Amino acid sequence: MKFSDSFRAARWVRLVNLLLQAVLFLTLFAGLNYIAQNHAWRFDLTAQRRHSLSAETKSYLERLERPIRIVVTVTDDADNADIAQAYRDISGLLREYTYATRANDKAPVTVDFLDVYQRRREAESIGIELPNVVVVLCGERRRIVPLSDFYRTKDRRRESFQGEATLTAAILDVSNPEKKKIYFLAGHGEMSPDDVDGARGLSQLRDELRQRNFELAGLDLALTHKIPDDASLLLVISPQGRYQPFEEELIRNFLTTRAGRVVLMLDPARAHGFDNLLFDWGVIVYDNVIYDTSADYQSDTGELILRHFLAHPITQNLVNNKLPILVGPTRVVSDDLGRTAEDGLSVRKLIATGDTAWGETSYRLRLSPQYTPGQDLHGQLGVFVVSERVKPASLPLSVRGGRLAVFGTADLVTNNRIINVGNLNLFLATVNWAADRDTQLNIPARPIERFQLTLSREELTRLRLGLLLLVPGAAALLGFFVYWTRRN
């Protein structure tokens, strides 16, 4: 064999070898990508399981039948540390939702980050006017979730991130074909959700409820003689006249036989006609007006300041952040201590006045209010009571029971009062509790870890000198030592 033939054969062998190596490399690369795409394993090694969804959320996402679109208007604002942190928390959580539904071609969860100022027309098409909200969409249904709902706060400081529970509840709400419907009862001079008056209008409250995906309607029992089947909650806000016995009976049946939900807001000095209903549910509404001359419980404009709260899902946020409630004239509402213990009721007084308050029973005489011993109630007087039917301990199943919330005033939800943070928070929490919204999820909140390094001015100066001189100097000394060693 000639030398040239041997060299040519060696070149062909080397070329074939290189081609086979390239093919094997591409095959290995494609195979690894296929395995990673279809048989991936993820391990969350963080202490608080920040990159994992709960088993409950995953089970709900697996049963989704319609696609979910989530629009986020929170931006990575470097000038606002809270907004920037919220952006990182929410965006990281949403990646888990999209990953969990990646194989569900029928009902995936998609996420879109939207700048409301740069994409104004698109923002208006889905009903977004302001930034820093998250909108969950499913078909024609939507729910706007404000940034405050993603965090549990204490002393007005973020304590934990509850974004998973909030988002999962919103997804369940918009994907459910049945929309929760609230009826405002009318026909007795009640406050109207269409009234823009400051003292008796509820237009701002109406907008807040609609923003949270509730459907609202009016209802006059004197005309319909029935409560619609789609009623999730009845609101009776400031009736000026007495309800007829048959109307009271309709509401009693709604609470008892249909496990209905009712919120009564009864102003003082007005007959309401719910005496029998309240007796059945272990609640007493007194015919008096609360006065408190203490500067700690009376504002400079004469409003009553309420600060005493019993821990409950309705009042927990008020307790954590020490948010006061501001109200005008109100009456005493209390639980009936004389009711039997076997009635299956859980009655709790959630909000009370200060120790210096009293319930004036002779308010109709228009005299200067003054506490009368033996006649007027005195001390921490109840203003807000909730009552619910609970299942017997012997019954192993969870049975839905009726729920009743009674306020001694309707003043706290008027257009003039609802702007107070505590008032709005209290009423929305009451509606959520009564309508079973956000209470069915057992998803724990994730605590927010904070690391703070406190240095004196002298320590900070030494740290700067060390970073600027010591570290570069040590590197230079090491380099000089290596150079000197090699030279010798």
- 35 & 68 share domain: no
Model pTM score: 0.71
> What pLDDT was estimated at residue 44?
63
pLDDT of 427 strictly over 50: yes
Tens digits of residue pLDDT in 150-165: 888 877 788 888 888 8
pLDDT of 470 strictly over 90: no
Percent of the chain with pLDDT over 70: 89
More confident residue, 444 or 117: 117
Question: From the CB of residue 208, how many other CB atoms can be counted at a distance below 10 Å?
Answer: 17
More confident residue, 297 or 9: 297
- 247 & 390 share domain: yes
Structural domain includes residue 67: yes
More confident residue, 468 or 381: 381
> What pLDDT was estimated at residue 287?
95
Q: How far apart are CA 113 and CA 92, in angstroms?
A: 13
> What pLDDT was estimated at residue 118?
83
* Segment 383-406 mean pLDDT: 76
pLDDT of 229 strictly over 90: yes
- 79 & 121 share domain: yes
* Segment 157-175 mean pLDDT: 85
* Segment 420-433 mean pLDDT: 90
> What pLDDT was estimated at residue 5?
62
* Segment 407-420 mean pLDDT: 93
Q: Using DSSP bridges, classify how beta strands 308-309 and 141-146 pair: parallel, antiparallel or unpaired.
A: unpaired
Q: How far apart are CA 211 and CA 147, in angstroms?
A: 14
> What pLDDT was estimated at residue 396?
46
- 60 & 192 share domain: no
Structural domain includes residue 148: yes
Nearest Cα neighbor of 169 from 64, 57, 51, 50 is 57
Please identify, among 124, 148, 175, the residue that sits at the C-terminal boundary of a domain. 175
pLDDT of 7 strictly over 80: no
- 32 & 11 share domain: yes
Please identify, among 175, 191, 208, the residue that sits at the C-terminal boundary of a domain. 175
More confident residue, 26 or 45: 26
Structural domain includes residue 159: yes
Percent of the chain with pLDDT over 90: 40
> What pLDDT was estimated at residue 151?
87
Q: 253 lies in which domain range?
A: 181-434
Structural domain includes residue 458: no
Contact call for residues 315 and 309 (beta carbons, < 8 A) = yes
Count of structural domains, the chain: 3
Q: How far apart are CA 206 and CA 215, in angstroms?
A: 10
pLDDT of 442 strictly over 60: no
H or E, element range at 245 = helix 245-256
Structural domain includes residue 466: no
Structural domain includes residue 48: no
Contact call for residues 349 and 310 (beta carbons, < 8 A) = yes
pLDDT of 393 strictly over 50: no
- 259 & 375 share domain: yes
CATH (domain of 251): 3.40.50
> What pLDDT was estimated at residue 55?
72
Strand (E) positions, 366-440? 377-378, 382-389, 403-407
Contact call for residues 200 and 191 (beta carbons, < 8 A) = yes
* Segment 35-41 mean pLDDT: 70
> What pLDDT was estimated at residue 365?
85
- 287 & 390 share domain: yes
* Segment 85-106 mean pLDDT: 86
> What pLDDT was estimated at residue 397?
45
Nearest Cα neighbor of 261 from 59, 68, 468, 436 is 436
- 211 & 332 share domain: yes
Structural domain includes residue 271: yes
Query: Residue 473 gets which letter from DSSP?
Result: H
More confident residue, 455 or 394: 455
Q: Determine the straight-line distance between the first and last CA of the chain, rounded to whole angstroms.
A: 55
Question: From the CB of residue 207, how many other CB atoms can be counted at a distance below 10 Å?
Answer: 12
Tens digits of residue pLDDT in 294-336: 988 988 888 999 999 998 989 988 888 888 999 999 999 999 9
- 202 & 265 share domain: yes
Q: Is the dihedral of CA 318, 323, 329, 331 positive or negative?
A: positive
Question: From the CB of residue 328, how many other CB atoms can be counted at a distance below 10 Å?
Answer: 18
* Segment 365-373 mean pLDDT: 86
Q: Is the dihedral of CA 415, 418, 420, 421 positive or negative?
A: negative
pLDDT of 133 strictly over 60: yes
> What pLDDT was estimated at residue 463?
79
- 171 & 193 share domain: no
Structural domain includes residue 453: no
Please identify, among 129, 147, 175, the residue that sits at the C-terminal boundary of a domain. 175
Torsions phi, psi of 132, nearest 5?
A: 65, 40
H or E, element range at 459 = helix 457-465
> What pLDDT was estimated at residue 35?
79
Nearest Cα neighbor of 422 from 350, 285, 315 is 315
Structure tokens at 485: 């060693």
- Say how many residues make up the chain: 488
More confident residue, 29 or 404: 404
- 190 & 139 share domain: no
Q: Using DSSP bridges, classify how beta strands 181-185 and 231-237 pair: parallel, antiparallel or unpaired.
A: parallel
Q: How high is the mean pLDDT of the chain?
A: 85
Question: Cα dist. 93→111, 165, 166, 387 in Å?
Answer: 11, 11, 11, 36
CATH (domain of 102): 3.40.30.10
- 300 & 243 share domain: yes
